Structure 1
């Protein structure tokens, strides 16, 4: 089966699952005068959001890699906006913020489009990190300078650099058949999101012991173990859409799950330190863009570089 046929097969399976989820959600909402309660309403909101996200991703895959890059560039833009909104800055930060939104995002994604891996991998961690404090100096405000600069650098790192590694999977193997890179991106997103969903489900059904109550009260040890194992199992079953063997797919899926959990916890800690429950309200049932991408933030670069190292061609 060629990569394009595999993409169609995967999307067909996703649509079938969403149809089942929509039917289950509708049936549950018919039970009782309160529409099934908050849990059912949250489930239906998440399913509706998933329909929208799958439709956008499917349209991007149909149009081509450039459309996918553009969509992820906007994802980085909105994620960075949410991060900066929750981490207040001062007037003296105007220049580095303008550079982050209107220079770093387009340059980083252009480097992916140009398949310039050498610069793509170091552009933000080296050149942007050195430039942003210098630009802030010209704002003439030294109040909490280190704290303000660190916020902008960290926001740039997670919202632009880390997220950009997801669509960069499309250029990982330039000589591969068309669609192979898109399959890697789809594999990453599926394992990450399945892990999030299954951890939520297992946590609701069996959760007893809190994983990190001060950081993420809803996460439980049972949810992590059950949901993580389910995601690894599904990731292993999807080996056929990757260059991995079943055993290698199990290892890669495990890495994605672990990195995703670490990303979710780290960014939840940032939210809690700022007194916020969600990063925003952009996606119904999911909060903000960063709420949906927090697991991808850590998983994407780790998966990208491991795949590049172990499967160079």
Structure 2
């Protein structure tokens, strides 16, 4: 994988934003301009760790980046399975669920699109269902298979689309596959931050109060507008998208990022928890951090794949 200077500049820009955000967060906390200012400072600290790990993996090459994303899928699936109600018979098939992770990311790494796109939706479903039946346990079979396979689709299949960007032909995008991955992750996480900040400052009317009371129309509109502007500005350097297509990508990532967030919020509300974990201070668990990516990664990938590959 050739590392284009545009990708380096994009990562440098993210670190520049963090350098500015660090004292700004402390100032906001000191002046109490936001009701959750302490949380904002914790979020910035966690961002330093996450951005540093992501940047290091990207600089080390496509293989390291792919397996980092695979490890994130592992942590997300593990966290999800630790939250949902499971029985002893369920645990006897979880080995097969975890086994899909290295296989799915291997298909992504070698660019085998046919196997990549059907492995979890078809083969993993059939194998895990058959293994479940062979145990001889039929009570709550549909509930058990539904929760396990839904978790695989969200935490492994969806997120693995981000890794497949690295396997796309290098000559199409100006910064290659790594530029596409940076574009996706940058816009997804920027959208989360922008919706959070706009919502805290100007949010009044709730979008889905019964699912996620903190989501407001002000946050959604402001976040999508911010994401769209950055998508348009950065597209010529990191993607093959023309201005109209870049606007489409910005809207897809802005809106689908919001939907991914509220879908995971619905799961947590169904289970009866606020955060999926405490791995990331200020962010909660790994599911709280990749919730938007579960929607943005496959939708952006297939949008791009349809247009150029």
Q: SS of the residue aligned with 1:262? A: helix
Residue 174 of structure 1 and its aligned partner are, at CA, apart by 5.2
Where does 1:53-68 land on structure 2 (aligned, <5 Å)? 53-68=50-65
In structure 2, what is the Cα distance between the partners aligned to 1:130 and 1:121? Answer: 15
TM-score (norm 1): 0.94
* 1:301 and 2:305 matched: no
Q: SS of the residue aligned with 2:96? A: helix
Q: SS of the residue aligned with 2:214? A: strand
**Counterpart contact for 1:162–1:301, Cα < 8 Å:** yes
Corresponding residue of 1:49: 46
Corresponding residue of 2:74: 77
* 1:116 and 2:112 matched: yes
Count of aligned positions: 307
Further displaced range: 169-178 or 280-289? 169-178
Q: 1:59 to 1:178 in 2, by over 3 A?
A: farther
Further displaced range: 92-101 or 58-67? 92-101
| 2:91 maps to which of 48, 69, 94 | 94
Residue 68 of structure 1 and its aligned partner are, at CA, apart by 0.5
| 1:187 maps to which of 170, 183, 190 | 183
TM-score (norm 2): 0.95
* 1:311 and 2:284 matched: no
Corresponding residue of 2:199: 203
Residue 137 of structure 1 and its aligned partner are, at CA, apart by 1.5
* 1:158 and 2:154 matched: yes
Q: 1:37 to 1:177 in 2, by over 3 A?
A: closer
In structure 1, what is the Cα distance between the partners aligned to 2:260 and 2:250? Answer: 15
| 1:281 maps to which of 263, 278, 282 | 278
**Counterpart contact for 1:3–1:178, Cα < 8 Å:** no
| 2:287 maps to which of 290, 293, 302 | 290
In structure 1, what is the Cα distance between the partners aligned to 2:42 and 2:116? Answer: 36
Q: 1:162 to 1:43 in 2, by over 3 A?
A: same
Residue 268 of structure 1 and its aligned partner are, at CA, apart by 1.0
* 1:138 and 2:156 matched: no
Residue 141 of structure 1 and its aligned partner are, at CA, apart by 2.1
**Counterpart contact for 1:279–1:288, Cα < 8 Å:** yes
**Counterpart contact for 1:111–1:119, Cα < 8 Å:** yes
In structure 2, what is the Cα distance between the partners aligned to 1:154 and 1:279? Answer: 16
Q: Identify unmatched segments of 5+ residues in structure 1.
A: none
Corresponding residue of 1:17: 17
Q: 1:178 to 1:232 in 2, by over 3 A?
A: closer
Q: Identify unmatched segments of 5+ residues in structure 2.
A: none
Q: SS of the residue aligned with 1:238? A: helix
Residue deviations 1:151-203 (CA, integer Å, cap 9, x gap): 00001110110010111111122555895101101101111111111111111
Which structure 1 residue ranges, 4+ long, deviate > 4 Å from structure 2? 174-179
Residue 254 of structure 1 and its aligned partner are, at CA, apart by 0.6
Q: 1:176 to 1:20 in 2, by over 3 A?
A: same
| 1:237 maps to which of 233, 240, 251 | 233
Corresponding residue of 2:168: 172
